[in-house]
Structure 1
């Protein structure tokens, strides 16, 4: 699934190039907002308003969350320049993306799917593969904890604990971003691994969605993107097949 990105840049932000030049970011850092208002009050717009007052201390490029029931990706700073997101070394290398925080699983899932999308898109736009951070400073997908451990200049360790609250490990998060990245490289999907056909569902939840058809093994369909959904750790592909739009479990789809 793809998402629109709303741009509302904070005026007056400092501008400094990445270490390899303007626009030459080397990866992305996954953050969460550390909000105490998790009942639905943490939104990209509220985070932007706060950052507009405090950007001399810290600021990032994106906030991702839920507003008025919809997932929102709000860009508040240009990715041509660095941000004050995770210490001086990381700031001259990476784009910073903050995930708003929710206790409610439905709100989290909406926000998280959009979060995974924008992380993958940022890497795809620069033709950077999805690779984990490493001690030698390599890697394109970093947590704030990775920056703390490998690059220094920060004491934060988000979003590890927050993702774990929603049963997503860091390794799984990297896999989710990599799967979304694959979806961005092709809009075609082949049905694989099914005994004879994949079940097409009306929602990304194999325990509660309705079956609306089947897609035979080997069929090539239009890939509309990957979402995490519910009750399947590998997620789901949203597809279009014979005039119907629906979801299949991810293990039955192979991006081409």
Structure 2
């Protein structure tokens, strides 16, 4: 009787244990989840790249030359207890044995070696072909997902940077995305099989199913596609601009590389030299690139890259004489700089320093208050120059007289006539000589004002030029 009861108890325990195991296994199966879908569902975003290039690494070109890798190799450290900083420190100390370009974990992408030069992490001949980075082993579900997001995005970033098309090389050994294992099997140089074991084990532990290079590659492709499409910040505006005479860019229905399907709607050369109206700008994320939505004669002609446009310039014929400053700081060009025309320097400003030139045209560039002037010297045109390089024409005449400084002069004594070709600085405050009688030996008439300037002396000492209204 006791044996029978004992057997029943044992049988019941075994049944209960079986049910528990069944429930447990069923729970694991229910919890199985793709790492990639977890990244998407939880809106995990890759971190930015931390650049920390160490100067101690050697510099050798890739097989195809400087800055010309043929793909990316994904590694894993096979050290469950290390940190990203431990690994970097170790690699710097042992780079003669091996080193890679970067390290990735759940919170970092740290670039330590210039990716334009090869590293040696897979042996010959793979080292001469690939950019290489290591992944640190992490120990939680979220950390593994974040690390995969960082590693896949970084791979996509490198492909995009070096204009390489994504192609999974792990099965046919033809492509741009490689595991260390694939390189070892195809090229030799090593017997390593990473990151397969790490992906398989960590995926099973935290997601109920092993992670694979094929899944990693799909994540790479997704990030690569996103890098091809830039987010654009649009801003309404009202501008008038000129299409360059050699625009080098065309007009599109949308900002290129935005989320919209883009097609060319007009050639830039069709509107070369024309003035267009702008009602909206688009700034691409991660760049300073501006696109402009342009209209000509009231008709929408499309979006064009800012490099194809120039600030609008208004020209007015004139006749005047000016002096090139003794230190002009600007040169003479065939056209107004930053206009729709291609510019080249015709003469250095210093060649005509202090000379008097004739002006036949004045140009105002939108957004620039100081105009440009088209100049001739002794009847020969020498080019356009920024107005800041010119001074007002001043006519000087020797005189011999005395005048009194007003009690409230309102002007100071300077080394030269203001706005002239000379660099001006104050020599004395006007109030210092208020009410004093000064001797005058020269009068100067500036072309743009009626009141003259006077060169003054007091007590036999030159005290400077002063505007005439300060004297009586």
TM-score normalized by structure 2?
A: 0.37
Matches of 1:29 and 1:147 in 2, distance apart?
8
Are the aligned partners of 1:27 and 1:128 in contact in 2 as well (CA < 8 Å)? yes
Are the aligned partners of 1:28 and 1:141 in contact in 2 as well (CA < 8 Å)? yes
- The question of 1:175 aligning with 2:211 is answered no
- The question of 1:60 aligning with 2:103 is answered no
Matches of 2:202 and 2:93 in 1, distance apart?
31
Gaps of 5+ in 2: 1-44, 204-210, 231-258, 262-472
How far did 1:3 drift? Answer: 2.9
Higher RCO (C-alpha under 8 Å, 6+ residues apart) = 1
| SS in structure 1 at match of 2:72 | strand
Matches of 1:3 and 1:189 in 2, distance apart?
26
Per-residue displacement from partner, 1:185-210 (whole Å, max 9, x unpaired)?
A: 114389xxxxxxxxxxxxxxxxxxxx
Are the aligned partners of 2:46 and 2:149 in contact in 1 as well (CA < 8 Å)? no
Q: Does the C-alpha gap of structure 1 residues 23 and 170 become closer, same or farther in structure 2, counting only changes over 3 Å?
A: same
Matches of 1:170 and 1:78 in 2, distance apart?
26
Matches of 1:141 and 1:151 in 2, distance apart?
14
The aligned residue for residue 164 of structure 1 is: 200
Matches within 5 A, 1:210-221: none
Counterpart among 178, 186, 190 of residue 150 in structure 1: 186
Per-residue displacement from partner, 1:90-132 (whole Å, max 9, x unpaired)?
A: 1000000111101222221222211111011000111211112
| SS in structure 1 at match of 2:116 | coil
Q: Does the C-alpha gap of structure 1 residues 170 and 137 become closer, same or farther in structure 2, counting only changes over 3 Å?
A: closer
Matches within 5 A, 1:1-256: 1-37=45-81, 42-66=82-106, 71-133=107-169, 138-167=174-203, 168-187=211-230, 188=259
Matches of 2:138 and 2:51 in 1, distance apart?
23
Shifted more, 54-63 versus 128-137: the winner is: 128-137
Instruction: Provide the alpha-carbon RMSD of the alignment.
Output: 1.9
Per-residue displacement from partner, 1:198-229 (whole Å, max 9, x unpaired)?
A: xxxxxxxxxxxxxxxxxxxxxxxxxxxxxxxx
How far did 1:150 drift? Answer: 0.7
Matches of 1:150 and 1:160 in 2, distance apart?
16
Matches of 1:118 and 1:28 in 2, distance apart?
10
Matches of 1:98 and 1:32 in 2, distance apart?
5
Matches of 2:74 and 2:135 in 1, distance apart?
8
The aligned residue for residue 224 of structure 1 is: none
Per-residue displacement from partner, 1:108-164 (whole Å, max 9, x unpaired)?
A: 122221111101100011121111216875310000110111111111010011111
How far did 1:16 drift? Answer: 0.8
Matches of 1:13 and 1:88 in 2, distance apart?
18
The aligned residue for residue 217 of structure 1 is: none
TM-score normalized by structure 1?
A: 0.67
Matches of 1:133 and 1:158 in 2, distance apart?
14
Shifted more, 49-58 versus 135-144: the winner is: 135-144
Gaps of 5+ in 1: 191-256
Matches of 1:49 and 1:189 in 2, distance apart?
45
How far did 1:9 drift? Answer: 1.9
Q: Does the C-alpha gap of structure 1 residues 134 and 145 become closer, same or farther in structure 2, counting only changes over 3 Å?
A: closer
Which protein has the larger Cα radius of gyration, Structure 1 or Structure 2?
2
Per-residue displacement from partner, 1:68-96 (whole Å, max 9, x unpaired)?
A: xxx11000100111001101111000000
After TM superposition, what 4+ stretches of structure 1 lie above 4 angstroms from structure 2? 134-137
